[in-house]
Amino acid sequence: MSGMTTPAAVLVDAAAYAVAVETAKKAAAAYYATGESALDDDAYDRMARGIAAYEEAHPGEVSADSPSGKVAGGAAVGDVPHTVPMLSLDNVFGGDEFTTWAASVERRIGRPVECWNVEAKLDGLAVAARYEDGGLVRLITRGDGLAGEDVSHATGMIAGLPDRLAEPVTLEVRGEVLMTTEQFERANTLRTGHGGTPFANPRGAAAGSVRAKDRPYRVEMTFFAYAALPLATTGPELAAALTGDSHGEVLARVAALGVHTTAATAAPPRTVTDADAVRARVEEIAALRPELPFGIDGIVIKADAAADQLAAGSGSRAPRWAIAWKLPAVEKVTRLLDVEWNVGRTGTIAPRAVLEPVVIDGSTVAYATLHNPNDITRRDLRIGDQVMVYKAGDIIPRVEAPVAHLRTGEEKAVVFPEVCPQCGSDIDTTEQRWRCVRGRNCHLVASVSYAAGRDQFDIEGLGATRVVQLVDSGLVGDIGDLFSLTREQILGLDRMGETSTDNLLAAIGRAKGRPLSRVLAALGVRGTGRSMSRRIARHFASMDVLCAADEEAMRRVEGIGTEKARAIVAELADLAELIGKLRAAGVNMTEPGATPPSDDPSAAEGSPGAVGAEVPAEEGPLSGMTVVVTGSMTGPLEKLSRNGMNELIERAGGKSSSGVSKRTSLLVAGGNAGSKREKAEQLGIRIASPDEFAELIAEFLAAEADATVTADAADTGADAMAG
């Protein structure tokens, strides 16, 4: 992150400069008035830097409409004067720029900054809330920094901004009004339910809703304070505190009065003493970005001490003691070119947006999820729309909404399929997610190929071509039929000789011994996936215990809520016949090293779920650790896929994760580890090579192997006695 810089737009002449100024002026006006700008944040930043660079090279050509040096880009809105100018912040885009800026602050005050306050930069609408004798009397937008718009009518819709403070004090609290992810979804449901077009993004939704006076519905927003200052009649004791305390102490005082601050969130403000610590905290907050329930577009760094702020002073646009470290954009505007309809292995018909490729957060995005047909209708998406696309962390890109005011009239309605795109059968449209009426049989080849894949049953030699042969010949009607195939049946297939037949039968035989988690993944239970399949298998330990679980028992698995529990229980009931078929064919139905829930009667010694109980995962060598794997594995781990490594981590008591953050305990870094290793080094996270990791868990692997041998021997003895 330290090297990231947003490049400036190149303006080659006065004509290009004039166009850029006019574009920036319109974009700023739309952004600060309704939140619906034709430019995304990244594009606006590049244009603003280009304008500033041109003006520096041509000081005699600066336009009066230029956004440079102006609060809110010169987009003045409102006529209520601010008691103290409500300024914007200057930006830096990486560690080198921050270091240069911090040095300039220290030169200005003539000494090292006592400490820095580092906090998330919330992506909302800046407002000032005035309290008199503890009561909220006025709410004002930032406007042009000198005067703003009175939006007091919106106060009843804003959580975190109480009508009355805990004490009868007089002061002004400044902060951001925003919508959380949950509030944004509810607001769009209300808006479209009243015939309106959906909001493009949470910031636009908050900006528009704060100003709206005549809507037939009310939406909820949230306020977070970032500053407070005395008013004319503020008592001397509080006035002294607000002007003489550090920034952190002022926010603590505000929070004690009952106003929301970010102190109670996952990314609270923190004071640090030097530039290296600032960088580390920036990395920590950036890593938390995908998990936060609200949008952030950067991190704000301020001189914490009031004396340092006073000595540094302020300019006409921004304070000289604070800066915004901007993060890469996670939302961009691009064009919706088409909608594809894909059929999943369970028969689910899923729409996917085909986009004009756009770079978001460092990667090129050409496709995005659209969830379901109802989502397309609710958002009023049309082919040819300019759409807001959102991406954060490892989340799959999704289309938020069309930017409706950019429509030209040439956009076309999305055409929904009338029959299944895969097989031509009817479509069940009774639920939000449409499904082919043939269900799994619609995509039998895909579902069998998936089940035979490396991270499921791992049946070597059973690729898609061979699966097509088996399905077309009538030998395989579901994945259970794979385990009852005979040598004669396989030899009867085209291009299957004795050696390849014997190899395939041997691979199918080995597949019977895969752990329960792999069996669950192969079944393709909706709402699970590989990671959740491992979690469920470790929790219930055996298929018998799992299939007997009700919704309440299913909810005890980490990450499973009410709706998902209901769906999993229902689907397992639907799969009972297939599970029985797999069991009868000799497929393993237990998870090595796991024990069933202690409140389940089948957890008693000797039950199917007790196999391997002497090596419980929660007591493994990785207990309590979050482990990330990157790069290519070598040595004893060379043949393990990424999913296999994750299985191993979780069997050993750890939690596997795909991204490095401050919560990561260990990074297993193989060849070509790349950026994850760099990030782990910056955060001081322990790093192990594949060989070192194998040595770390060697005793666990040996104990697990012994347990497996013991269980196999017991099964063999039982078979002998039965014979």
What CATH code is carried by the domain that includes residue 419? 2.40.50.140
Q: Burial-class residue 630 by CB neighbours within 10 Å (0-12, 13-18, 19+).
A: buried
Q: How many helices, marked H, and strands, marked E, lie in the chain? A: 24, 25
Instruction: Indicate the pLDDT class of residue 248, thresholds 50, 70 and 90.
Output: very high
Q: pTM, whole model, 2 decimals? A: 0.52
Same-domain check for residues 56 and 102: no
At residue 708, the pLDDT reads 47
Same-domain check for residues 238 and 347: no
Three-class secondary structure assignment of 133-193: CCEEEEEEECCCCCEECECHHHHHHEECCCCECCCCCCEEEEEEEECCHHHHHHHHHHHHH
Residue 399's nearest CA partner among 410, 390, 386, 411 is 390
Residue 433 lies in a domain: no
Same-domain check for residues 468 and 407: no
At residue 612, the pLDDT reads 35
What is the domain-level CATH number for residue 128? 3.30.470.30
Q: What is the DSSP string of 373-423?
A: HHHHHHHT-EET-EEEEE--TTPPPEEEEE-GGG--S--EEPPPPSS-TTT
Question: What value does the mean pLDDT take over residues 533-537?
Answer: 89
Q: Which of 428, 461, 477 is the last residue of a domain?
A: 428
Dist. CA 672–CA 314, nearest whole Å: 47
Question: What value does the mean pLDDT take over residues 215-237?
Answer: 90
Same-domain check for residues 53 and 172: no
For tokens 């300039």, what's the residue?
A: 104
As for how many domains the chain has, the answer is 5
Residue 718 lies in a domain: yes
Dist. CA 222–CA 442, nearest whole Å: 46
What is the domain-level CATH number for residue 20? 1.10.287
Residue 197's nearest CA partner among 37, 381, 29 is 381
At residue 392, the pLDDT reads 59
Residue 309 lies in a domain: yes
At residue 338, the pLDDT reads 95
Q: Which of 511, 542, 561 is the last residue of a domain?
A: 511
Question: What value does the mean pLDDT take over residues 110-129?
Answer: 94
What is the domain-level CATH number for residue 484? 1.10.150.20
Residue 586 lies in a domain: no
Least confident of 153-157, 359-363, 503-507, 613-617: 613-617
Structure-token pair, residue 414:
């999305």
Catalytic positions are: 121
Give per-residue pLDDT as tens, 570-588. Answer: 999 999 999 999 999 999 9
Dist. CA 646–CA 526, nearest whole Å: 20
Q: 149 near 78, Cβ under 8 Å?
A: yes
Residue 238 lies in a domain: yes
Tally the C-alpha atoms within 13 A of residue 410's C-alpha that lie toward its C-beta.
6
At residue 71, the pLDDT reads 57
Question: What value does the mean pLDDT take over residues 716-722?
Answer: 33
CA angle 680, 682, 687 (to 5 degrees): 30
Instruction: Indicate the pLDDT class of residue 607, thresholds 50, 70 and 90.
Output: very low
Q: Burial-class residue 85 by CB neighbours within 10 Å (0-12, 13-18, 19+).
A: middle
At residue 443, the pLDDT reads 74
Q: Which of 511, 532, 562 is the last residue of a domain?
A: 511
Residue 579 lies in a domain: no
Same-domain check for residues 262 and 148: yes
Partners of residue 334 on adjacent β-strands = 387
Same-domain check for residues 347 and 301: no
Does pLDDT of 717 surpass 70?
no
Does pLDDT of 31 surpass 80?
no
Does pLDDT of 614 surpass 50?
no
Same-domain check for residues 307 and 409: no
Handedness of CA 64, 174, 187, 184 (dihedral sign): positive
At residue 29, the pLDDT reads 67
Question: What value does the mean pLDDT take over residues 28-53?
Answer: 67
Does pLDDT of 111 surpass 90?
yes
Does pLDDT of 704 surpass 70?
no
Same-domain check for residues 165 and 274: yes
At residue 70, the pLDDT reads 61
Q: What is the DSSP string of 337-350?
A: EEEEEEE-TTSBEE
At residue 97, the pLDDT reads 92
At residue 113, the pLDDT reads 94
Domain housing 421: 332-428
Same-domain check for residues 626 and 701: yes
Same-domain check for residues 283 and 405: no
Give per-residue pLDDT as tens, 317-367. Answer: 899 999 999 987 778 889 999 999 988 777 889 999 999 998 876 678 888
Residue 245 lies in a domain: yes
Same-domain check for residues 164 and 275: yes
Listed in sequence order, the residues at least 6 apart from 247 whose beta carbon sits closer than 8 Å to its beta carbon are 117, 227, 269, 302, 303, 304, 305, 306, 309
What is the domain-level CATH number for residue 649? 3.40.50.10190
Residue 7 lies in a domain: no
Same-domain check for residues 415 and 485: no
Question: What value does the mean pLDDT take over residues 390-405?
Answer: 73
Three-class DSSP category at 526: coil
